[in-house]
Structure 1
Amino acid sequence: MRTDNLFIAGAAVRVPELFPVAEAVRRGWYDAGRAEAEGWTSVAVAGDLSAPELAAEAGVEALRRSGLGSDRILLVLHSGVWHQGPEGWYAANYVQDRVVGGSAPVIGMHQGCTAVLDGIRLAHGFLNGGPSGTAALVTASDNFGTPLVDRWNYADGWGSGRGSVLGDAGGAVVVSTEGGPLRIRSLALSSLSGWEHLYRGDEAMHPPPVTLGVQATLGRRMASYVERRDPEGGLLLSVTRDLVTARTALARQVMDEAEVGPGDITRVTHVFTGHPRYLANLLRPLGIAPERGLLDLGRAHGHLTSTDQVLGLTHLVESGAVSPGDHILMMANGGSISLACAVVEVVEQPRW
């Protein structure tokens, strides 16, 4: 979808202290062989700072950077992958109260690693569907420092080729229909829900395993599911083929809609990885050099789920890696399987 009047007016992240991978290996939390093979160097760890607090701190800064008053925010969207706080309580309302207050509608999402781009798409429809669209706040955050998920080993056993360790962070963007330094030229979402069973595996849907104190072991769950159904590996190849095909097609779609080609893409934001092989598989089918990705940035923070995209974008702008006239391709894919891509043009160097 081409988006002629959608801008990022402000963006910010709240990233906690980085914990060295070498120390995790020394303490026996992370296998030394896996650490060497997967390439991560450190992981953001928030300690006792909750996920909604991370999102709210990022939201306050993103709003300040946008130069907009809180009364201009007509919608708040918040997402997290992992548990955000007490059951029966909604983190999205906390974020709204801490950042903008007021009585604008607020919606919580649970859409994994594509959530920020999903939220921007929903905000675009909301702001353009009413008589006075102005701006929306989209936030995401997670803190994986809880007993029922092991940030170092949650994906162990799944041969995706990327390897993954989980980092904590909060991110926020303020999107506006009235201008901003970053213009979203095009945005598209898609899914491969026929593969949701791969992520669900053979675990019971009710009662949810986590309510019974069962640790989330996504990698082993997926691997055992594949091994039982297809020990020769054809299923894994099919998943990989379908994902690469759909992801590449979606990226080409947004580039076509933005009227840019691979040579016009200055940099790419993506799901963080510690291994260059993932970036090669992601970008070479598009004719984009893997070096345009963010390998070193990702290696230093861990996989921040939904916040990968916000940290990638803010890093490119704040480090001077992109300048006015440059284009950023944002590529996200998440569990079960959701897909999202966008092309963002740097209109002017943000004052922040």
Structure 2
Amino acid sequence: MKTDGVYVDTVGVHLPDEWVSAEKAVEEGLYDEYSIQYGTGLTGAYIAGDLPAVDMAVFAARQALGRSEEDVDSLDFHIHCTSVQQGPETCHLPGYILRELGAGDVPSVDVRHHSNGMLGAFEIAVGQMTGAAAASSVLVTGAENFTSPMIDRWKGFGTGFTASDAGAAVLFSGESGCAALRAINSGTLPELEQWHRGEESLLPFREKTNGASSVLELLSYFNQHVVPLDKCMEMIRDFELEIVHRSLVDAGLNASDLAWVVASNTDARMIDQMKMQPLGLPMSRSNWEFGRIFGHMGGCDMAVSLNHLLTTGQVAPGDHVLMTSSGPGWVSSSAVLTILDVPSWARQEASGNPA
């Protein structure tokens, strides 16, 4: 889907104060030495402790709004994306965030798209801005606190991830911004829906049917009984590459035109084999080197990496950035941005003088 008149105004990020290295996690028996030497290459994780995910979303949104010439009263729409449960079953998370921001009557939705949440929310924002709603200012927030009985942040997804806590926000404008959203596309690979469900009941709060107590056990069940892991990865690679190609075509670009590929913060082998090699690009054009420090932050990976590129001076006007992510379902999205300007708040942070 080609997009016109949709711009990234600002980005906001909140990272917890505590960062735990992979080496320390090994010392505490939370991680294994093999994963450090031969596995992920991810160096640690941010841990929020008892800080709720939605509060990190509020902090990130405040930063995004503080960097913008717009204010909270100008918001036309709000989207919040999540991976794990972030509050009581009956609460509406966007309502909490908007109240904390001091917003008035703003339409809002909660998107449970897991690691694909941020780009899934981008697509909803495009619909609001280019469709009948004619919204001119849309706030997207995301946040994760992976302190969950279903997820072991160090090895709960296998050797390819360490789960890190964070909050992130992207403020879209219909007028101007530091980057233009050139294209975005999404898809669903329903053959892999059961991968993250196993044999569990579709009725909530029922007795477990196969005894799975973690995400890793659900994944293992599917690979043992339904589709082998190597076949899953082959299906995902081909499926996601097709979505990426659609976005590049819609943006009028070739893979060789890309300055950066922002992928979810997983291990180097996965990014190289699933993203960079199929595109014919070297790992030096991926976000791997800085993403490995943060670990996987669910949908927040996209905004945190974009913020990092802007505030460290690693992008310049005219640079094209591909964002690609995926999540259970199996869902995947890709977006193409073109940097129009490095804004003053980013230049100040790049020079060591935070805005």
Give me the TM-score of the superposition, normalised by structure 2.
Answer: 0.91
Matched, 1:308 2:301: yes
**The one of 44, 47, 50 aligned to 2:49:** 47
What is the CA-CA distance between 1:51 and the residue it aligns to? Answer: 0.1
Give the AA of the match of 2:167.
Answer: G
The equivalent of 2:195 in structure 1 is 198
SS in 2 for 1:250: helix
Q: What are the equivalent positions in structure 2 for 1:141-180 lying under 5 Å apart?
A: 141-156=143-158, 163-180=160-177
The equivalent of 1:28 in structure 2 is 29
The answer on whether the counterparts of 1:154 and 1:216 sit within 8 Å (CA) in structure 2 is no
What is the CA-CA distance between 1:104 and the residue it aligns to? Answer: 1.0
Q: How many Å separate the matches in 2 of 1:219 and 1:87?
A: 23
Give the AA of the match of 2:186.
Answer: L
The answer on whether the counterparts of 1:280 and 1:290 sit within 8 Å (CA) in structure 2 is no
**The one of 341, 344, 349 aligned to 2:337:** 344
Give the AA of the match of 2:291.
Answer: G
The equivalent of 1:298 in structure 2 is 291
More displaced stretch, 142-151 vs 185-194: 142-151
Change (3 A) 1:275 1:323: same
Give the AA of the match of 1:96.
Answer: L
Query: Percent identity over the alignment?
Result: 27
Q: How many Å separate the matches in 2 of 1:229 and 1:4?
A: 42
Change (3 A) 1:132 1:3: closer
Change (3 A) 1:291 1:89: same
What is the CA-CA distance between 1:311 and the residue it aligns to? Answer: 0.7
Q: How many Å separate the matches in 1 of 2:206 and 2:156?
A: 15
Give the AA of the match of 2:329.
Answer: S
The equivalent of 1:159 in structure 2 is none
What is the CA-CA distance between 1:195 and the residue it aligns to? Answer: 1.1
More displaced stretch, 281-290 vs 42-51: 281-290
What is the CA-CA distance between 1:220 and the residue it aligns to? Answer: 2.4
Q: How many Å separate the matches in 1 of 2:173 and 2:208?
A: 39
Q: How many Å separate the matches in 2 of 1:210 and 1:7?
A: 47
Matched, 1:129 2:138: no
**The one of 201, 204, 214 aligned to 1:217:** 214
**The one of 233, 238, 249 aligned to 1:240:** 233
Change (3 A) 1:173 1:256: same
Give the AA of the match of 2:164.
Answer: G
What is the CA-CA distance between 1:27 and the residue it aligns to? Answer: 0.7
Matched, 1:184 2:181: yes
The equivalent of 2:11 in structure 1 is 11
Q: Unaligned regions of 5+ residues in structure 2, if any?
A: 346-355
SS in 2 for 1:325: coil
Q: How many Å separate the matches in 1 of 2:279 and 2:196?
A: 27
Q: How many Å separate the matches in 2 of 1:300 and 1:210?
A: 38
SS in 2 for 1:329: strand
The equivalent of 2:311 in structure 1 is 318
Change (3 A) 1:115 1:146: closer
Aligned CA-pair RMSD: 2.0
Matched, 1:273 2:266: yes
Q: Unaligned regions of 5+ residues in structure 1, if any?
A: 157-161
The equivalent of 1:59 in structure 2 is 61
Change (3 A) 1:148 1:195: closer
Q: How many Å separate the matches in 2 of 1:5 and 1:45?
A: 37
Give me the TM-score of the superposition, normalised by structure 1.
Answer: 0.92
C-alpha deviations, 1:250-306, integer Å up to 9, x for none? Answer: 111111111111121001111102334432331111122222111122221111011
Q: How many Å separate the matches in 1 of 2:133 and 2:44?
A: 47
SS in 2 for 1:341: strand
The equivalent of 2:352 in structure 1 is none
SS in 2 for 1:38: coil
What is the CA-CA distance between 1:100 and the residue it aligns to? Answer: 4.7
The answer on whether the counterparts of 2:10 and 2:65 sit within 8 Å (CA) in structure 1 is yes
